[in-house]
Amino acid sequence: MGRVVLASFIGTTIEWYDFFLYGTAAALVFNKLFFPNVDPLAGTMAAFATYAVGFFARPLGGVIFGHFGDKLGRKSVLVTTLMLMGVATFCIGLLPTYEQAGVLAPVLLVTLRFVQGLGVGGEWGGAVLMAVEHGHRGRRGFYASWVQAGVPVGLLLANAVFSACSSMPEEDFLAWGWRVPFLLGIFLLAVGMFIRLRVLESPLFEAAKAAASERAPRLPVLEAIRLHPRNVLVAMGARFAENAAFYVFTVFVLSYATTRLGTTKADVLSGVLIGSAVQLVAIPLFGILSDRVGRRPVYLAGAAGLALFAFPFFWLVDTRATAGLWAAITLGLVVHSAMYGPQAAFFSELFSTRVRCSGVSLGYQLASPLAGGLAPLIATALLKWADGNPWPVALYLIAMSAITLVSVWCAQETHRTELTEDGMSAQRGP
């Protein structure tokens, strides 16, 4: 079990290191290098638009790799998606800029971002199910939370490397320094591949495949929708607050604090690093709590906490004090952890084994472009509409929280559910 959790954790860390590098670069660099002929705010919005492309690719990746995860196995998905993500990230580090290649440069950037989205869209479901389907019922929340913990570690690594590179002279950083974090991803890819190739297939998948080979669904994604339509919608709605909040707290804040408040890049990146380190501890703790009291109470508390913290977050950031900025990001990520910690086990428990990879990938990834992918872009547009006042962004977070509260409230409690076909019978249907 330890090897399985480690493989999922390390691989997810690498996937999200690659994905978050792009978000950090979009907030701080890409507007200058790939969209230099527009004003700074419009350039930032254009960079965030390319950032959103990866999120719109994620549902497609979820459908494609969810299908193969249910047909061929979870392990094959883990290996393929990690390779896809790592190669795309490395290639971003080799791209020519707008000055060197003209309009071809942003076109190539968008293409590689789309490939990144395909990879991360397929990776999450396979990584989560390897941990959940190997785990004991009473500890599924804890085991699966370590897959989720790979996200803040990936963010931690991405921002640490980017922070170190951005400390060099501005001219050198824009000329070549920004490429280094992307190129370093190839070494992380080698480590991740070595670990994931050594993990055995999920025993629940193997049992379900052996028992039902003659009636295995031809298209698992359609079967997941037929069997669990309500749970697909529950998973999507549960993602809205969690996903939007995370990218406001870690990506949009980079642009807002540096361009509107005059905060240094180093201070904002340090705040994200501190928040990510705290979240690494908070996510497993909330996973354990969900094993004790249930997924719904913990998740609902996180969504309600986000609604209550939306305005205080910006009040703290607007103090222009470093301590206030760091406290805002850290507290925001703790609130986020209350939803993210139990999420992997919660979503997995909503679907039966033979369509579980398609089901969790579909519910998780369909919400990604609407919630996380558009969050920095919507927040930037709202900020411009309000002449730099962040109150509309706070209301936007509250609206996302309301969607999640309603969705999770309508869900069944799942933490005592058996992950077998028979044990999932209560979860089927609308």
What are 146's two structure tokens? Answer: 């370590």
Helix, coil or strand: residue 180: helix
3-state helix, strand, coil in the chain (%, to 5): 85, 0, 15
Q: Is the pLDDT of residue 161 over 70?
A: yes
Please answer whether residues 151 and 247 qualify as being in contact, where contact means their C-beta atoms are separated by less than 8 angstroms. Answer: no
Helix axes 2-28, 40-71, angle to 10 degrees: 160
pLDDT tens column, 47-96: 777 767 877 888 888 889 888 888 887 888 888 888 888 898 899 999 99
Rounded Cα gap, residues 72 and 67, in angstroms: 8
Contact 149, 280 (CB under 8 A): yes
The confidence score (pLDDT) of residue 212 equals 61
Amino acid at 281: V
Express each pLDDT in 287-301 by its tens digit.
Answer: 999 999 999 999 999
Burial class (CB in 10 A: 0-12, 13-18, 19+), 214: exposed
Token couple for 408: 């999770």
Q: Phi first, then psi: what are they for 349, rounded to 5°?
A: -75, -5
Residue 307 contacts by C-beta under 8 Å, 6 or more apart in sequence? 241, 397, 398, 401, 402, 405
pLDDT number for residue 315:
96
pLDDT at 117 (0 to 100): 85
The per-residue DSSP string of 386-412 comes to TTT--HHHHHHHHHHHHHHHHHHHTSP
- H or E, element range at 197: none
φ/ψ (deg, to 5) at 131: -75, -45
**Three-state secondary structure string covering 244-275:** HHHHHHHHHHHHHHHHHCCCCHHHHHHHHHHH
Name the residue type at position 262: G
- Spell out the domain ranges in the chain: 2-201+218-425
**Per-residue pLDDT at 216:** 62
The predicted-structure confidence for 321-348, as pLDDT tens digits, reads as follows 999 999 999 999 999 999 999 999 999 8
Q: Domain 2-201+218-425: give its CATH code.
A: 1.20.1250.20
Cβ atoms within 10 Å of 425's Cβ, excluding its own: 11
CA–CA separation, 375 and 368 (whole Å): 10
- pTM, two decimals, is 0.82
- Say how many Å lie between the first and final Cα of the chain, rounded: 34
Give the residue carrying structure tokens 């005592």: 416
Give which of 351, 355, 349 is closest to 216, Cα–Cα: 355
**Phi/psi of residue 297, nearest 5 degrees:** -60, -40
